[in-house]
Amino acid sequence: MRQGSRRRFMAGVGSTALALRARSTAEAQAPPRASPSDAEGRRRRLAAAIREMNQAAGLGVAPEDLDGAEAYAVGALLEAEAKLRTLSLDPGLDLPVVFRARRRS
Amino acid sequence: MTEAVAFLKAVELEDRYRTRRLSPAEVVDEHLSRIERLDRKLNSYITVSSERAREQARASAERWGKGAPLSTLDGVPFAPKDIFATRGVRTTHGSRLGATNVPTETATAVARLDAAGAVMLGKLNLLEFATGGGTDSGFGPARNPWDVERDPGGSSSGSGAALAAGLTTLSLGTDTGGSIRNPAARCGVVGLKPTYGRVSRHGVTPLAFTLDHAGPMARSVRDVARLLGAIAGADPKDPSSAQEPVSNYESALERPLRGRRFTVAPELVEPIEPPVRVVFEAALDRLTALGAQRVEASLPHVRAMNIACEVLIGSEAAVFHEENLRSAERRAKLDPVVRMYATSGRFYLASDYVKAQRLRLVLQAELEAALTDADVLICPADPTLTPKVGEASRLEGRERMWFEYGTVNLGNLTGAPALSLPCGFTPDGLPVGLQLYGRAFDEATVLGFAAGYEQATEWHERRPPVS
């Protein structure tokens, strides 16, 4: 595999240690489980926040699309909280911005 | 002309052309006639370009007549998903928004097949803008040739249906979250999502640019290998295309399975609907009976895979569809599920997006580690029973949708190659797909392993009721 494309595609691969470190902290940071009534309350608050944010931040989601966006985004935000935000992932995993050299013609 | 002609593989067509037992014009006529007869039931094509196809077939026949074909694919029929731009031929993205869109340039993958002399029959149906499960096509749903009441999978739905029914020999699909492998599995054909960067995406309408892949679909592993060889390779028009040299994929198909290793990760085989599990386990048993050795692996971060994919697709699609969603007139022409994906992406956290990107590299490392002692990692391509048309996860079915696509996202997140091939049928007569993951840019090993299984089984030779 050539160095340049390997860097582009596989940056960070080989960093099994990072993966293992991320794994070891995953369970430790899991949030306390909410009761069903708390969960339903949070869903309602999030749904209301999404509508408020759409208006206050001028996100421009049309009224007829808000029900769908809300139904989907609420579920995704809660799942991200449980499964993604609990992970401690090393900043060394961030991909670099790559500039391509251009010759003057 | 018999039905069998429409089911000849590309490698068989080459042999018939070379020995003058068939001409490209005959083969293309047979396909066009079948499309006219059968596609009313399947709706796999959005546009059929008959005149153009006949013209290309005549030119191909002349080349074969002179003993000067452009390639081994000269005269072989193909049809791309209607998300590949084709100069002078309408390209709709499966959306009413594209109903009159006629590009002035051709996507690189299609252009490479044109240059190889392959004959384009038309453009195939898809879930609108290649968006995931639950979306409809703006041109009505494609149907599964194994049972027209069933969903053919997606988003390359027309590709799966047309291949299974013998309405094309080869197809090009795209795959952002399993959109090649899911319809390949549900329609009983072979689909490969190559490594990210392996096949140019120039001229392919994006869904989520960091996850989008273009790749080959066909009715056999060998045809997929041949098609990949024709379309793979660096493209100056696509900054994400890789400089990696292109292998001779067909030469990798001859290695026996005996002594080769496959790995199974528990995180990718739970949950599976029971009838699918029975077929999947039987396929693993067959592999070991053929002399392949099973080793165990673990991919702990798969737990976060689907939500990472969801955040990435939603965020990137939200930006792509910004203009479409701003105009009431354009918005009205979009499927509600496409609007749901694209609008929900406006509410995701930027920090979740960054976290999801970091997770991809963790998953890459875990997959690499799992493949240290194995040629391929195996799991079902679709762990669920094929739903009825219109019953695929809709607005309320977020969890169901991610269950259906739960084993494919690893390929899009890691960029690693992944292939689905038929491995049996559920009791209701619908195909099941076996999914093989491989190392980055090592499509040859994946294809070789798949060919070993295919040669020892007959699943890929079965024909659906509508064919």
Given a contact cutoff of 8 angstroms between Cβ atoms, the answer to whether B429 and B170 are in contact is: no
Residue A12 vs residue B37, higher pLDDT = B37
For an interface test with B, which of A7, A8, A10 has the most B Cβ atoms less than 10 Å from its Cβ? Answer: A10
Residue B238 is assigned to a structural domain of this protein: yes
Q: Which residue has the tokens 């599990």?
A: B277
Active site residue B179: yes
Give the pLDDT confidence of B406-426 residue by residue, as tens digits.
Answer: 899 999 999 999 999 999 999
A36 pLDDT more than 90: no
Q: What's the DSSP call for residue B151?
A: -
Instruction: Give the pLDDT confidence score for residue A87 in this predicted structure.
Output: 95
A19 pLDDT more than 50: no
* Sequence-ordered list of residues with C-beta below 8 angstroms from that of B310, at least 6 positions apart, any chain: A76, A79, B402
B397 — pLDDT class (breaks 50, 70, 90): low
Q: Which residue has the tokens 């900043």?
A: A91
Chain A residues touching B355 at Cβ < 8 A: 84-85, 87, 89
Residue B266 has, within 13 A of its CA and on its CB side, a CA count of: 3
Given a contact cutoff of 8 angstroms between Cβ atoms, the answer to whether B325 and A55 are in contact is: no
A98 pLDDT more than 80: no
Chain B residues touching A16 at Cβ < 8 A: 365-366, 368-369
Residue B179 is assigned to a structural domain of this protein: yes
Give the pLDDT confidence of B139-176 residue by residue, as tens digits.
Answer: 999 999 999 999 999 999 999 999 999 999 999 999 99
Share of chain B above pLDDT 90, in %: 92
B328 touches chain A (CB under 8 A): yes
Residue A37 C-alpha, separation from nearest chain B C-alpha, in angstroms: 20
Instruction: Give the pLDDT confidence score for residue A39 in this predicted structure.
Output: 84
* Sequence-ordered list of residues with C-beta below 8 angstroms from that of B322, at least 6 positions apart, any chain: none
Cβ neighbours, 10 Å, residue A55: 12
Distance CA B260, CA B258 (A): 6
B401 pLDDT more than 90: no
B287 pLDDT more than 70: yes
What phi and psi values does residue B244 have, to the nearest 5 degrees?
A: -55, 140
Q: What is the distance, to the nearest Å, from the Cα of residue B57 to the centroid of all Cα atoms in its chain?
A: 25
| Structural domain range at position B450 | 3-461
| Sequence-ordered alpha helix ranges (H) in B188-304 | 221-231, 274-289
Chain B residues touching A18 at Cβ < 8 A: 361-362, 365
Residue B467 is assigned to a structural domain of this protein: no
Residue B402 vs residue B30, higher pLDDT = B30
Instruction: Give the pLDDT confidence score for residue B71 in this predicted structure.
Output: 98
Distance CA B344, CA B322 (A): 12
A8 pLDDT more than 60: no
B320 pLDDT more than 90: yes
Number of helical (H) and strand (E) elements in chain B, helices listed first:
17, 12
Q: Which helix (H) or strand (E) holds B380?
A: strand B376-380
Q: Please give the average per-residue pLDDT across A35-42, as a whole number.
A: 82
Given a contact cutoff of 8 angstroms between Cβ atoms, the answer to whether B125 and B41 are in contact is: no
Given a contact cutoff of 8 angstroms between Cβ atoms, the answer to whether B123 and B89 are in contact is: yes
Share of chain B above pLDDT 70, in %: 98
Chain B residues touching A19 at Cβ < 8 A: 301, 362, 365-366, 369
A32 — pLDDT class (breaks 50, 70, 90): low
Q: Please give the average per-residue pLDDT across B296-319, as a whole number.
A: 95
The residue in chain B having the minimum alpha-carbon distance to the alpha carbon of residue A72 is B344
Judge residue A103's burial from the number of C-beta atoms within 10 Å of its C-beta, 0-12 exposed, 13-18 middle, 19 or more buried: exposed
Distance CA B290, CA B278 (A): 18
Q: Which residue has the tokens 């960067």?
A: B197
pTM flag (> 0.90): yes
Share of chain A above pLDDT 90, in %: 44
Q: Please give the average per-residue pLDDT across B63-90, as a whole number.
A: 98
Q: From the candidates B179, B241, B315, B393, which is the catalytic residue?
A: B179
Given a contact cutoff of 8 angstroms between Cβ atoms, the answer to whether B283 and B380 are in contact is: no
Given a contact cutoff of 8 angstroms between Cβ atoms, the answer to whether B165 and B147 are in contact is: no
Residues 33 to 72 of A: which have CB under 8 A from any B CB? 50, 53-54, 59-62, 65-66, 68-72
Q: Please give the average per-residue pLDDT across B80-92, as a whole number.
A: 98
B337 — pLDDT class (breaks 50, 70, 90): confident
Q: What is the mean pLDDT of chain B?
A: 95
Tokens matching residue A36: 């069903």
Q: Please give the average per-residue pLDDT across B310-334, as a whole number.
A: 95
What phi and psi values does residue B425 have, to the nearest 5 degrees?
A: -135, 145
Domain CATH number, residue B38: 3.90.1300.10
The number of domains in chain B is 1
Tell if the CB–CB gap between A100 and B239 is shorter than 8 Å.
yes
Q: Which residue has the tokens 């669920």?
A: B384
Residue A104 vs residue B329, higher pLDDT = B329
Residue B466 is assigned to a structural domain of this protein: no
User: Hey, which bits of B144-246 come out as E strands?
Assistant: 170-175, 190-193, 213-218
Q: Three-state DSSP class for B423?
A: strand
Which residue type, as a one-letter code, is found at position B379? C
Distance CA B77, CA B56 (A): 10
Active site residue B240: no
Residue of B330, B283, B231 whose CA lies nearest to B432: B283
Which residue type, as a one-letter code, is found at position B419? L
Q: Please give the average per-residue pLDDT across B289-294, as a whole number.
A: 97
